[in-house]
Amino acid sequence: MTTAIPRADRRVSPVFLALVAVLAVSGWAVWSGAAGSGTGFAVFVFVVSGWVVSLCLHEYAHARTALHSGDISVGAKGYLTLNPLRYTHALLSIVLPVIFVIMGGIGLPGGAVFIERGRIRGRWRHSLISAAGPLTNILFAAVVSAPFWLHGLDGVPDPFRYALAFLALLQVTAAILNFVPVPGLDGYGVIEPWLSSDVRRQVEPFAPFGLLAVFGLLWVPEINQVFFDLVHTVLRALGVSAWDGYWGQEFFRFWQGAPQVPRTGGVL
């Protein structure tokens, strides 16, 4: 089926390659200490570029799964190029998630690709298309946390270690939030094909507000506590401690000044 897509519609975008280059250079700056007193800013650039790269991969996973399920229109829309500028809702997909990372250290998902569902047959395929995005976040979290769960942190500079931990935290928060079965999120997309047409019609008007409603609920202290308890449970399974994630976020907030990390680590 991919042979029906022109090569130009499948070629990796220079915009995405530039994002990967920024990720690599900023990662080197954090690792080597070349940024000096600007290490916090380097961590900020590293995490934000890594986060945007993961968003591109998230949406690419939706589009690629849709392509193999019957929707060849994703090629003409530019979704297979990994170019974030080609997404249907660039504001929701890129800008707002980055703002929420800066505000609260939460990897808030956003809508992006438009799938022509009428081209796709079978409820399982519809569910898999929706699940592909957050599953990509889980995979990304496993990759960036690999030095932790593989016990390969010897020789890794602390700022780089903390930056990886915070990036992993964002991926886990994004995966969990995306799997919440609320209209407008991928979790609802997974179960929607299995609901009756009456239920879907009743729920449809609430879809544009689902994302904001979930974010609003996270400001409720009790819900926030339960949510982050779950996040840190997953991170611990990946070998990432709350200590590492906390200091990653402190370095990320470079505008607050250089964090003073105690010489001896601990558990938060």
Catalytically annotated residues? 59
On the CB side of 243, CA atoms within 13 Å amount to 11
What is the amino acid identity at position 102? I
CA distances from 247 to 22, 40, 141, 172, 229 (A): 22, 11, 18, 17, 17
Q: Is residue 155 classed exposed, middle or buried when 0-12, 13-18 and 19+ CB atoms within 10 A define those classes?
A: exposed
